[in-house]
Amino acid sequence: MQAATHTQYGSSEVLSVQEVEKPTVGPQQVLIRVHASPVTEGDRRLRAADFPGVSAVAGRLMFGLFRPRNHIPGTMFAGQVVAVGHAVTRFAVGDDVFGSCDNSAQAEYLAVGEDGPLAKIPPGIEYDEAAAVPYGAATALAFLRDVAQVQPGEEVLIVGASGGVGRFAVQIARHLGAHVTGVGSGRNAAMMTELGADAVIDYNREDYTKNGKTYDVIFDTASGDGFRAAKQSLKKSGRYASVYLNLLMLWQMLVSAVFGGPKATSSVVLGNQALTQDVAELLAQGVIHPVIAARYPITQVAQAHAAQESGATSGTVIVTVDDTARCAPPAKALHVA
């Protein structure tokens, strides 16, 4: 089968497409013919061995000290089940599915466990749309619903609202009943508004920490050290949640818990079956919609990674692995040129 591969860490130029052995399925695994896989920030970090802060050593030990232990990139996917292990009960051949995995999604075939972060694609959703959802939506849902515990009527500010996690955070916060303010580049203001932001702040023109407004929740998808500045923009019972869990955040979480006032919070969100199913239900209900910026065939996987890494794309970059088959007619999605 064809697969994107890289045998060394580095820029997108280390990627090429090679013929590799097709995976086989174990008793509790399903074999998926992959149709689409997004290029995420996580994929970039794994490809470049760009592990932030204190995770640098641990990352190298886990994923390969001098070169990548797993040669096929891709941690999110959508496709169709073509074979199942004899003990599989949740899925059948022909099911359209999407989800996340540790690696190897940017290939023609992928074997994953049926009890992992895998769910059926809701009717009316295309493969590329489903593939674009797990990375950002699962993180946003876990942080807003479970970590920050957003309540109806609360004021929520999302830093990085036009990014991979932020785009879904805007939609999910709105669904939870919050009044949503998005912070992002002015060029993406219309997109943030269309996704559900009640107000938009262009960070190039305005510093939200200095405008005198306060919020119940500040969800920061762009910084790992923003609590000190954000604290003055939080109400007394406010919560600051950052997707970056580092030593500074751990210290701020401890201090804010001991001394009271606005709280610093963070977490590590790992894909699981329940969370993926929750995301599938939001997708089926029309609560969340992906923003797709560009599609590249797998033969241009290096260009796809370069496009994602450039930061110039307003939306998800999709690697189209197999576009010969399609799901049911597409539901609403935002497609950005």
- 156: domain CATH number is 3.40.50.720
My answer on whether 32 and 94 are in the same domain is yes
My answer on whether 52 and 113 are in the same domain is yes
Q: At which residue do the structure tokens 């109400």 appear?
A: 235
The dihedrals phi and psi of 318, each to the nearest 5 degrees, come to -110, 135
Residue at which a domain ends, from 207, 233, 266: 266
Give pLDDT, residue 311.
Answer: 77
My answer on whether 77 and 8 are in the same domain is yes
My answer on whether 170 and 200 are in the same domain is yes
Helices 273-284 and 134-141 sit at what angle, rounded to 10 degrees? Answer: 100
My answer on whether 241 and 314 are in the same domain is no
pTM for the whole thing?
Answer: 0.89
Q: Is 237 exposed, middle or buried (0-12, 13-18, 19+ CB in 10 A)?
A: exposed
Residue 56 lies in a domain: yes
Domain range for 325:
2-133+291-335
Residue 272 lies in a domain: no
My answer on whether 99 and 14 are in the same domain is yes
When divided into structural domains, the chain yields a total of 2
DSSP alpha helices (H): ranges in the chain?
Answer: 41-48, 55-63, 127-131, 134-141, 166-175, 189-195, 227-230, 247-259, 273-284, 301-310
My answer on whether 123 and 212 are in the same domain is no
DSSP bridge pairs for 215: 234
Residue 244 Ramachandran class (φ > 0 left, ψ -120 to 50 alpha, else beta): beta
Residue at which a domain ends, from 220, 250, 266: 266
Sign of CA dihedral 8, 12, 16, 22: positive
My answer on whether 47 and 117 are in the same domain is yes
Residue 164 lies in a domain: yes
Residue 166 lies in a domain: yes
Q: Is 187 exposed, middle or buried (0-12, 13-18, 19+ CB in 10 A)?
A: exposed
Could you read off the pLDDT of 250-293 as tens digits, one per residue? 888 888 888 888 998 888 888 899 999 999 999 999 999 999 99
Residue 260 lies in a domain: yes
* 220: nearest Cα among 264, 176, 279: 264
3-state secondary structure of 166: helix
pLDDT tens across the length of the chain (337 residues): 999 999 999 999 999 999 999 999 999 999 999 999 999 988 898 898 887 666 666 777 777 778 888 899 999 999 999 999 999 999 999 999 999 999 999 999 999 999 999 999 999 999 999 999 998 999 999 999 999 999 999 999 999 999 999 999 999 999 999 999 999 999 999 999 999 999 999 999 999 999 999 999 999 998 766 888 899 999 999 999 999 887 788 888 888 888 888 998 888 888 899 999 999 999 999 999 999 999 999 999 999 999 998 877 789 999 999 866 555 443 344 444 3
Residue 224 lies in a domain: yes
DSSP bridge pairs for 239: 217, 263
My answer on whether 139 and 254 are in the same domain is yes
My answer on whether 107 and 156 are in the same domain is no
My answer on whether 82 and 141 are in the same domain is no
My answer on whether 156 and 262 are in the same domain is yes
Residue 204 lies in a domain: yes
- The CATH number assigned to the domain holding 320 equals 3.90.180.10
**Degrees, nearest 5: CA angle 191-232-142:** 50
Residue 271 lies in a domain: no
Amino acid at 231: K
Give pLDDT, residue 330.
Answer: 39
